[in-house]
Amino acid sequence: MTTHIRRQTPYVFLGQTTSLCDECLTLVPAKILSEDGRVYYLKRCRTHGPQRVLVSTDAAYWRLCHDYLKPGDRPLAEIERMMDTLVASEGEPDLL
């Protein structure tokens, strides 16, 4: 009888996101991996191939920050209209 033992990967898959290729700055899919207490993005650009980027040296802290984030939301339509009116009359605000 042959026993099939599933091999363990050396990393933990934390999720996926979208990132930029280091070479051409195109949006590319990225896997978020934890390995040896560090967090990496494993990106794959169609032109430039796979890239592995260190994003945190502390996986526990990365998780803590990630859990703290709330989903994005949109400004209220009223505020958006006020800002449009302000920009129309005053122009774009100066950047400091």
Interacting residue ranges for Zn ion, rule: CB under 5 A: 21, 23-24, 45, 47-48
For the bound state, the minimum distance from the C-beta of residue 19 to Zn ion, rounded and expressed in Å, comes to 11
The token duo for 67 is 């859990």
- Taking the complex as a whole, the smallest distance from the CB of residue 6 to Zn ion amounts, in Å, to 33
Q: Give the residue with the Cβ less far from Zn ion, 7 or 46.
A: 46
**Is 75 in a helix, a strand, or coil?**
coil
Rounded to 5 degrees, what angle do the CA atoms 91, 94, 96 make?
A: 165
- Report DSSP letters for 26-56, one per residue: -EEEEEEEEETTEEEEEEEETTTEEEEEEEE
Least Cβ distance, residue 72 to Zn ion (angstroms): 26
Which is nearer to Zn ion, 39 or 45 (by Cβ)? Answer: 45
Q: Nearer Cβ to Zn ion, position 25 or 69?
A: 25
